[in-house]
A and B are shown apart, each in its own frame.
Chain A
């Protein structure tokens, strides 16, 4: 169980969150850039001390500003995968991993590090320096290094950033594997659709506050079912089409802007399914269909408004 509760001012942003991950579960932390995701992870790891906060992990208190407890980062048993990997450039892949394996004889550290790299398909790259590795390989070395001390808690900051689709798939599989191995994992990403592939649960952070949390499926439904605006150019049949859409309950609001229908709908999928048949029935010709608000930013805006509407 990892529980992070923090209030901290960061320039213009007031971070005020409480996040909990059950032991052996994986939680995704989604939200746009600048929402405070990295700061939250840094607070959990002990790299950033909030003005006010509590961090507990599996019964241990790592931070309690009320009682003046602040376990230093090097003593928190928690692996951290940094956004730009933060591999030591002067060390080879195995040496990067072995850096975490203190207190063992050198030869044993090498063996252990190489074994770990092999488990993650990096056996052949043990002697390579970070700058000769591909982005995906660097990411995996960073994960292996973070796991070397067998931490119970693993934090990953934007692990999919800067990777191509194939590498993304590898890293997603890797993260799912980490979750299934019984570690408590908190992973951040600014790309919502990717989050659901990484973790069964998600919390959404916007402007330093949680605006949504739940099973990734539920969040996906919430996003899918949000009211949407669709612009439909249907020429002369526009009036008839509008009347029919409202009649069937597919549109909650319609107006005509410069000859183009602007339809507000609560169920964009149903509208998509029914639009063609209805247009055929009323004799309207569909010239152009343009759904608005499909970008991530409007999704986050919607989630923020939705949270406000629920009185959070």
Chain B
């Protein structure tokens, strides 16, 4: 070997190491159980319930995040005002909060004994240990992922497009809907995928805030933890499903990004 060749070899070794370490556990899920076993454990009582609940709660929380987060991100991206940096930091805070802390924080805020607990109960809404509570927990932990990405996406749009929209007689609201959102869509989609991934995998905050009741608050990650000591095979099957869904999301993001490169989206 020549002296110069050691560095490329080192690079290759590091990549091989990283690849093995990152893919082996995922591959192992599928190696340890045959497809037949996977499907039959899915048929077990509770497994499909957990999957359905996960999808339902994630969809609800993503809907809330898109509806509220998109206009909020647009405002932060297009206006400068005093305290803007502080607002952005506060919105990003849940990103660095440990999930257990997020759960406790939610209990303290909107739990039965929380500061808003009385008001929520008076409104006839049950959050803790209820499906709605799962949605609250998922929304809390995953919305910063979306808002951050959406803010960057809106900020990257050429401001003269919005000006052009106004000189063509469109209100700002119309410019937002018909120009800003379509032009920022690749970034918004990427943000949605990140939030989706985070919401699907949410464990800690849900467990602390909503508990783990089969069919009511037991999402797939909680069901995996629940079965892990008693029925490892079933835990594996559920894990395999989560891997498949997550991989599908990642793939979808890559495809949207590919569209961007093809010039579907803005320069």
Contact = CB atoms under 8 A, between A and B. Distances in A.
Contact of A82 (B163, B178, B265): B163
A162 to B, nearest CB: 14
Given A86-B158, A88-B183, A89-B183, A102 B169 contact: yes
B168 interface: yes
B264 to A, nearest CB: 8
A82 B160 contact: yes
Contacts of B68: none
A47 interface: yes
Interface residues of A, number: 29
B167 A47 contact: yes
B170 A88 contact: no
Contact of B160 (A75, A84, A100, A148): A84
A90 interface: yes
Nearest to A80: B167
Given A47-B167, A99-B170, A102-B170, A89 B160 contact: no
A74 B166 contact: yes
Interface string B236-267: 00000000000000000000000000011111
B265 A89 contact: yes
B266 A148 contact: no
Nearest to B159: A86
A245 interface: no
Interface size class of B (residues with CB under 8 A): 20 to 34
B179 interface: yes
Contacts of B178: 99
B167 A45 contact: yes
Nearest to B264: A90
Interface in A70-94: 72-76, 78-80, 82-84, 86-90
A131 interface: yes
Nearest to B178: A99
Interface in A27-76: 42, 45-47, 72-76
B183 A74 contact: no
Contact of A78 (B161, B163, B167, B185): B167
B165 interface: yes
Contact of B267 (A76, A82, A131): A131
Contacts of B78: none
A146 interface: yes
A145 interface: yes
B55 to A, nearest CB: 30
Contact of B266 (A76, A82, A89, A99): A89
Contacts of B169: 74-75, 100, 102, 149
Contact of A149 (B165, B168, B171, B265): B168
A80 B170 CA distance: 13
A149 B166 CA distance: 12
B166 A73 contact: yes
B168 A47 contact: no
Contacts of B263: 129, 131
A11 to B, nearest CB: 15
Nearest to B165: A99
Nearest to A90: B182
A89 B264 CA distance: 8
A129 B267 CA distance: 12
B164 interface: yes
Contacts of B168: 74, 99-100, 145-146, 148-149
A88 B167 contact: no
13 contacts: A47-B163, A47-B167, A74-B166, A79-B167, A80-B163, A83-B160, A86-B163, A90-B182, A90-B264, A99-B170, A100-B169, A102-B170, A145-B164
Interface of B: 158, 160-161, 163-171, 178-179, 182-183, 185, 263-267
